[in-house]
Amino acid sequence: MPRRRWYAWAVGWSLVTIVLGYAVLDVADAAPGVLTMRPLPPPAPTETVATRTLPVVAQPSLRASAGPVLPSLAGATAAPSGAGVARALAAVRALPALKDSALVVRDGQTGEVLLDQRGDQPRIPASTTKLLSATAIGQTFAPDETLHTVVREGDSPDEVVLVAGGDSLLNPGKGDPQSVAGRAGLRDLAQQVVARLSAQGIRRVTLYVDETYADGPRTAPTWAPTFLGDGITGAVAMLGLSTQRASGGHPGPADPVAAVRSAFAHQLGSLGVTVRLAPRGRAPGVPGSPGPTPTAPTTGPGSVLGSVESAPVREQLALALTDSDNALTEVLARQAAYRSGAGTAFAQVGSWVVSQVAALGLDTRGVTLSDASGLSRQNRVRARLLSDVLVLGYDGRHPVLRQALDGLPIGGLTGTLADRFTGAAHDVAGRARAKTGTLTGANALAGSVVDDSGRLLVFVGMVAGVGTNEARAALDRFVAAIASCGCR
């Protein structure tokens, strides 16, 4: 074979071999090509979302998806019995911590007394006193009544008077319409005042404070001198800042009114008004009125330059119970007593609270209060009376008290019960609402719980002479027992 022909033959067979080899690789999907044994890959995604189709599933029927509707809470078949409660509490009542306790259990829907162990013995109530105070306050204020902080003109246009109106939860800045503490803001008040001053060309003022409304002592003589410094309570005054509320380990200011005056002067200054602080004492112009809305002449001495409005009193009262806020309770009780014509000293307010509870037809024999918050160890209240107040509040005829009870701490979740019912009694978490009471050697718990039968039960426990941790544990077991028994 000539050399040229042999060369052409070799090249041709080489090309055939290469093509056949590539075809084999293509079919085996080992090389890219049109010949393949695998299905085509999905197309590349696009920016357009295709219509999604779902299988049609028949909706389940009520019978298949849920049990029968719950019976009425007031149903006769769900009513607990005294014998059932006694059986459920037999072991708990034998606890050493409850040996000398006062225990009361009642049907929250009928008021029937299911258990009464020393319920008529006067005991130190500690902060459960606030339940009585809430009852009295609810008798004085209308359901949606609010408190106004007003600024009035003094004897001359360059004198402005900040009028204390009972709001101890003022926001130092702009008010927050969604909050209870801080609903009314000093920034908003200052803007109103500066607008009125600017219209008269006034850029320099003297700032006074009118403290005539429900004025009284800042601390009670029956309180321990360490309470303010430890943050157990704040000083009681008819003006205060929401950011300075006292709490354990964080004391509030010794003079809340001075703190508000300083914050308001700062807001005026930030808006271009030069402020001179007048000495405390009698303020010029027309004294402030504790009425539900500010009333004054439209111009001249005493005219209103600005006004801000607090959250409703019933919401403040609920907050006081949730946080066991001693100063806030005293502030609300003092002005309620003042509006009723009573004195503003702590013991006078305490006596007024008792009189208002008695006016509802409740038995207040042996009850004495030296304050409205329960910090005084001289207070004496019967467990049976606390249960009377709870039953009264849940019957729906006293709207302010009813909402206040809705503000009671919730077991395992909120306020002073956030760290309670989290152990062996965890089933009560979220089901019990109660007011705690804690003083050295005197502990109490009063509230309500929905039992396993869906029935509302009211309970009160008052323990004396044992350590706080031991008393709390025993009271928690007491509530857990009635919550889980059904008590038929």
Domain boundaries of the chain, sorted by first residue:
78-141+315-485, 148-311
How confident is the model at residue 2, as a pLDDT?
Answer: 53
Q: Which amino acid is at 320?
A: A
Among 318, 71, 53, 284, smallest CA distance to 179 is for 318
Predicted local distance difference test score (pLDDT) of residue 85: 93
pLDDT score recorded for residue 6: 43
For residue 414, the tally of other CB atoms under 10 A from its CB is 15
Say what the pLDDT of residue 374 is: 98
DSSP 2: -
Q: Please state the length of the chain.
A: 488
Instruction: Tell me which residues of the chain have a pLDDT lower than 70.
Output: 1-78, 286-298, 423-425
> Which residues, 6 or more positions from 283, have their beta carbon under 8 angstroms from its beta carbon?
154, 161, 163, 208, 209, 210, 211, 212
Burial of 155 (0-12, 13-18, 19+ CB in 10 A): middle
Distances (CA, A) of 185 to 80, 150, 255, 405: 49, 12, 19, 27
Cα 471 from Cα 476, distance rounded (Å): 9
Return the CATH architecture of domain 78-141+315-485.
3-Layer(aba) Sandwich (3.40)
Give the torsion sign (CA, 27, 30, 33, 38).
positive
Q: How much of the chain, in percent, has pLDDT values that exceed 70? A: 81
Q: Which of 154, 156, 149, 243 is nearest to 189 (CA)?
A: 149
Residues 6+ apart with CB under 8 A from 296: 150, 152, 286, 302, 303, 304
Q: Provide the pairing of β-strand 167-170 with 239-241.
A: parallel
Give the pLDDT score at 32.
47
